[in-house]
Each structure stands twice: as structure tokens, then as C-alpha cells.
Amino acid sequence: MSEAIVVLTMLIVAEFTFAPINLWTGRTMDNYRRFTGLSPRLATRILAPAKLATAFALLGGFAYAQLGVAGSIAAVTISGFYLVRLAHPERQDPAGIAAFIIFGSLGAALRVLYTVV
């Protein structure tokens, strides 16, 4: 397995593990509302579990590459969802946009690496 796959996986796993915890505890709920304009219920019942499932899929990619591919696609999809929400003129936050571009790009790079390795 490529060292680059391990590094990218662990970076995304760190974010996609702590992000749900921060949403569930309310620590980042204000940012979530500012970035998305959506209800906290969606964050805690849909997005947080989806992020955690993505982290587990990425970790599973160490044993089964198909899980890593699925996790990388999920990371890009989740990041894209946030970027679409952040495109609204009232929700454009430079830090949020940068963060989701970074994690979406990491997911896309990971997907490419799974293809070539």
C-alpha cells in the first residue's frame, strides 16, 4: 500500500471522526448553521453519522481497497454538499470554503491513488 494512501486516509479520518463528535456535542453547531443554513437535527442525525461511516470506510480501505474507494467518494460527496451550501451569498465563509475544498481535494486525490496503485 502506498504511503500516500495512508497519509491521505489518516488526514481525512481525523477530520471525519472529530467533526461528528463536535456536531453531537454542539461545539461546531454554530458554524454548521452558518455554513449550511440547515437544521441541527440534520447535522446530528444524518451528516454526523455519514461522516463517521466515511471514516470507518476509509479505515476499512487498509484491508479492502473497495472500502477505501467508497470512503474517498463519500468524502468528496460530503465536502461537495457543504460547498454547494456555502455557495449561497449569505453563507459564503472563506474558512469553511477553504476547509471543504481541502478535504474534498484530499478525497479526490485518494480516489485517484486507489486507481493507480
Q: What is the pLDDT of residues 49-88, one digit of tens each?
A: 999 999 999 999 999 999 999 999 999 999 999 999 999 9
Place of cell 465536502: 79
Q: Which amino acid is at 74?
A: A
Annotated domain spans of the chain: 3-116
Tens of pLDDT, residue by residue over 24-33, are 999 999 999 9
Band of pLDDT at residue 1, cut at 50, 70 and 90: low
The values of phi and psi at residue 64, to 5°, are -135, 110
- Rounded distance between C-alpha atoms, residue 117 and residue 111, angstroms: 10
Q: Please answer whether residues 52 and 17 qualify as being in contact, where contact means their C-beta atoms are separated by less than 8 angstroms.
A: yes
Q: Using alpha carbons only, give the angle 35, 41, 47 rounded to the nearest 5 degrees.
A: 60
